[in-house]
Amino acid sequence: MPIRKRIYVIVGICIAAIILLLICSDIETSNQIESCEGNLEFIVNNSAVNPTWNELESFLMKDNTNSIKYVDNDFTCTNFAQTLKNNSEEAGIKAAYVYIEFSSCKHAHACNAFNTTDKGLVFIDCTGTINGTGEDRIVTIEKGMAYCPRNIYSNQLIGCLNDSCTCIVKDFKITW
């Protein structure tokens, strides 16, 4: 191979390596959050952006986090929220992990938040079911108000953690 061709090949490989390095350097896995289930590790994509509502909806339709089976003490709401946040960040969509405490229920809960460019801050609960038939839900989270998720696509009330809207939000923390 002539020297000129070798130089072009080497330069091309170097350029590809630099581009790959620049792309991959925006994704970090150092973001840790302490939870009742131990430390959670999250992907943080510094290039992730706030989506429009339609972009978020399209992403959620493709994402299968909600179809994972809920398994007590093994894969719970914490894991669903962690998985959706990581999947979102990997897809270039900025997402938050949300920890919720209730005044009227003995259990805490976790979901996600997205700051959409057209509808503002929205909370998404993708916690699956024991048979793997979970649905993506949108929920309003406000201190002193009931936690009542609704199906994103049909707006049908899905119910609270105990199939009723009796879980009153005491406090919540959003971690980006």
Chain mean pLDDT for the chain: 82
Question: Mean per-residue pLDDT for 137-158?
Answer: 88
User: pLDDT for 162-173, tens place per residue?
Assistant: 444 678 999 999
Question: Which residue in 122, 46, 113, 55 sits closest to 85, CA to CA?
Answer: 113
Rounded to 5°, the CA angle 10-13-17 comes to 140
Residue 63 amino acid letter: D
Place of tokens 């706030």: 50
Place of tokens 């986090």: 65
CA distances from 57 to 37, 49, 154, 156 (A): 29, 15, 13, 16
| pLDDT interval class at 1 (50, 70, 90) | low
Multiple choice CATH, 30-175, 3.30.450, 3.40.720, 3.30.460, 3.10.50 = 3.30.460
Name the pTM for this structure.
0.77
User: pLDDT for 38-89, tens place per residue?
Assistant: 678 999 999 999 999 999 999 999 999 999 999 998 999 999 999 999 999 9
pLDDT over 50 at 27, yes or no:
no
pLDDT over 60 at 23, yes or no:
no
User: pLDDT for 104-118, tens place per residue?
Assistant: 778 899 999 999 999
